[in-house]
């Protein structure tokens, strides 16, 4: 995991501004680092405003909603398959977290939601996710469906044109945590250590 942490520090530098946009939008994180770096639950006006209904298609081609993932906590990351570094780093970290959690990893839903409706078909998502833990579920949809899901989670994203007619995507870069009832429970920020991230996840499944 040391290599993953180093890669994370290098890759996330290019999207630091995105994190500030999300911070300003939500009014702060629900779960923050307490004394000695230990996670604690903090209350705030944003705690009930993140998360909500969505209607998307999973990487197997099945139409799903948030109800298909009820009953278990969720760890959700928004990104896209053509992402050069941030998204594969985040999904590699998620894979590492799942390995470290052992059987407790099965007590969560792990979701990767695309913000690139044009390129991220279910087939593209399925091929991309082969490089990561098979328990990660890829979700994509139409532009309207993705916009609705992003709005529910206060996720920032935008299309950025590149030379030659191609494009990339800017997007929020945190893992969102929801409890088993679908309530927002915090985030895993890209600057956090593996230890802090795992403590948050264990708290989420009641083992912290």
Residue stretches of the annotated binding site: 83, 87, 171
CA angle 146, 152, 155 (to 5 degrees): 70
**Residues annotated in a binding site for Cu cation:** 83, 87, 171
């Amino acid at each position: 995991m040391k290599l993953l942490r180093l890669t994370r520090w290098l890759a996330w530098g290019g999207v630091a501004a995105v994190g500030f946009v999300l911070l300003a939008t939500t009014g702060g994180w629900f779960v923050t680092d307490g004394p000695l770096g230990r996670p604690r639950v903090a209350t705030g006006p944003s705690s009930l405003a993140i998360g909500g209904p969505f209607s998307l298609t999973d990487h197997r081609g099945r139409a799903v909603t948030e109800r298909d993932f009820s009953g278990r906590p969720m760890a959700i990351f928004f990104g896209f398959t053509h992402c050069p570094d941030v998204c594969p780093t985040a999904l590699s970290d998620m894979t590492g977290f799942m390995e470290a959690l052992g059987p407790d990893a099965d007590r969560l839903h792990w979701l990767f939601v695309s913000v690139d409706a044009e390129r991220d078909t279910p087939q593209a998502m399925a091929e991309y996710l082969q490089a990561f833990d098979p328990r990660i579920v890829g979700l994509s949809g139409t532009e309207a469906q993705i916009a609705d899901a992003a709005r529910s989670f206060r996720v920032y994203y935008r299309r950025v044109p590149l030379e030659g007619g191609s494009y990339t995507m800017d997007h929020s870069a945190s893992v969102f945590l929801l409890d088993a009832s679908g309530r927002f429970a915090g985030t895993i920020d890209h600057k956090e250590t593996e230890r802090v991230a795992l403590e948050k996840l264990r708290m989420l499944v009641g083992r912290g």
